[in-house]
Amino acid sequence: MPIPFIMPKMDMDQETVVINEWLKKEGDMVEKGEPVVIIETDKITSEVEAPASGRLAGVLYADNEEVPVTQVIAYILEKDETEADIPDLPHKKQETFDQHPPQETLDIEPEKKHKPATPVAKRMADAEKVDLSKVPSTGEKITKEDVLSYIESLDKVAPRVQVPATPAARRIAQEQKVSLSEIIGTGPSGRVQAADVGTFIIESSEKTQPSVSLVETLPLSRIRKRIADKMTESYQNAPHIYLTVEVDMHEAEESRKRINQLANEIPVSLTSYLIRVVAWALKRHPFLNAGFEDGHIKLWDQVNIGIATAIDEGLIVPVIHNADQKTIREISKDLAYLTTQAKAGVLTMEEVRDGTFTISNLGMFGIQSFTAIINPPQTAILAVGSIKRKPIVIDKEDTIKVRPMMMMTLGADHRVVDGAVAANFLTDLVKALETPELLLM
């Protein structure tokens, strides 16, 4: 029996993917586990492997088509099996077959007698390319109403075109580079007529030109659209509260320098250092290491810290899993690897999923302070600014020293975290950065 090739679900909230490229053509032999198709989700580009060995058949989706997850996209035929063995011809293939019957079938069909039609019905049938022999009629002649009813019945079963229009209207629209989807049709069932296209062109030309000329209109990439959807969802649904602190990074910087002097390995960056300290603080404040889903607060046992990373297509958040259980050296190595993967656009789903808290660091761009939007379903995000040296009072005797100061802003979901809880988290975080020995206690 043919084996269905099902589009896997790459993430919990994934509904569709886009087929980038079929690596195998219909009729090619494939081996189980062999990459057959490249797909693109809103986060990554990945290869999908063949579920079995055999001949690829019944391909239902072409390159650049959007596919619902968990749907059959093709079949694998075993030895001696043919397309006739495919149990159910999917609707998409059947629709194509019905709309384009083989020419041989039309040539050998006997000529069917049909009722005469009124002149108006004939003109309408000619304009809409309707075969009068297929139009049912209860009267002695086929009327205009019969043709209209037949056209409407065709559209209810399967719309023949995305925008109904006469051939003349399509030709004019193509020549004038006009989108039929922008035109309101006045023909039967809203079909666009040639006159409708002409009227649209005249009205468009009469509109006042904008004072600022448009350079280019760009469609949203899948990653950019995903970012837009998630950030809009977060900002509209989660009541954000923001708390900002300033931390003296003198001791943390000295600690980081000593660590880097101990071994000739990948240098410990400020972000790596922050991940280790934040992981320590999250274990002390579990409501910041939580999720809010379906009206419930979910406290996570693992501390998986995501690092917002800019790429050409937008923003992606690779995750350091079990950050609280790793040494600062291990975190540095993981971060360096994930950053390289992200820049190359080859992150796997496992490397971007299951984050429980996010750090967004814009300090390298000279940004001193900013607020970030929570990455749902997480309940908090830490926005980190640049380090600036400035004079501060360091003791009760009002001694003034120039110290490296850094601003941090915590954004928290007020449905889960109250202001005092968020403040206590930031207080511990500042203490740990200013007194690194706390991590050893």
Cα gap 124→266, rounded to integer Å: 76
Mean pLDDT of 255-266: 88
- How much of the chain exceeds pLDDT 90, in percent? 45
DSSP conformation class of 225: H
pLDDT at 84 over 70: yes
On the question of pLDDT at 31 being above 50, the answer is yes
Determine the distance from the C-alpha atom of residue 45 to the mean position of all C-alpha atoms in its chain, rounded to a whole number: 11
Write down the pLDDT at residue 191.
80
CB of 388 closer than 8 Å to CB of 405 = yes
Lowest mean pLDDT among 95-99, 309-313, 409-413: 95-99
| Range(s) of the chain covered by CATH 2.40.50.100 | 1-75
Q: What is the mean pLDDT of the segment spanning 51-56?
A: 92
* Catalytic site residue from 114, 240, 250, 414: 414
Q: What is the Rg, in whole angstroms, of the alpha carbon atoms belonging to the chain?
A: 32
pLDDT for 93 equals 46
169 has a pLDDT exceeding 50? yes
Grouping H, G, I as helix, E, B as strand and the rest as coil, residue 141 is coil
- Token pair recorded at residue 275: 């991940």
As a whole number of angstroms, the distance between CA 350 and CA 269 comes to 24
In the predicted structure, residue 347 carries a pLDDT above the cut 80: yes
Closest among 334, 310, 307 to 318, alpha carbons compared: 307
Residue-level pLDDT at 111? 47
| Residue limits of CATH 4.10.320.10 in the chain | 167-200
**414 annotated active-site:** yes
Cα–chain-centroid distance for residue 315?
Answer: 11
Three-class HEC string of 247-284: EECHHHHHHHHHHHHHCCCCCCCHHHHHHHHHHHHHHH
Q: What is the rounded distance in angstroms from the CA atom of residue 290 to the CA atom of residue 299?
A: 5
Helices 270-284 and 328-344: crossing angle in degrees, nearest 10, is 120
Lowest mean per-residue pLDDT among 166-180, 346-360, 372-386: 166-180
Among the four given CATH numbers 2.40.50.100, 2.60.40.10, 2.70.98.10, 1.20.1250.20, the one describing domain 1-75:
2.40.50.100
58-81: pLDDT as tens digits: 898 988 888 888 889 989 998 888
* Its pTM surpasses 0.95: no
Helices H / strands E in the chain, number of each: 11, 18
Q: For a pLDDT cut of 70, what percent of the chain falls above it?
A: 88
Confidence of residue 330 (pLDDT cuts 50, 70, 90): very high
Q: Minimum mean pLDDT among 1-5, 222-226, 268-272: which range? A: 222-226
Q: Please report where in the chains the tokens 């975290």 appear, as a residue.
A: 417
Q: Given this model, what pLDDT does residue 243 score?
A: 98
Contacts of 324 (CB under 8 A, 6+ apart): 279, 280, 282, 283, 303
Instruction: Over range 201-222, report the average pLDDT.
Output: 72
* Residue pLDDT, tens place only, 90-149: 444 444 334 344 444 444 444 455 678 887 778 777 777 788 888 888 788 888 788 878
Between 2-11, 202-211, 411-420, the lowest mean confidence (pLDDT) is in: 202-211
Tokens read off for 267: 């240098």
Please enumerate in sequence order all residues whose Cβ is within 8 A of that of 65, keeping only pairs 6 or more positions apart, or say none.
18, 19
Pick the CATH number of 238-437 from 3.30.559.10, 1.20.1260.10, 3.40.50.360, 3.50.50.60: 3.30.559.10
pLDDT attached to residue 206: 64
Fold adopted by 167-200 = Dihydrolipoamide Transferase (4.10.320)
The predicted pLDDT at position 106 comes to 43
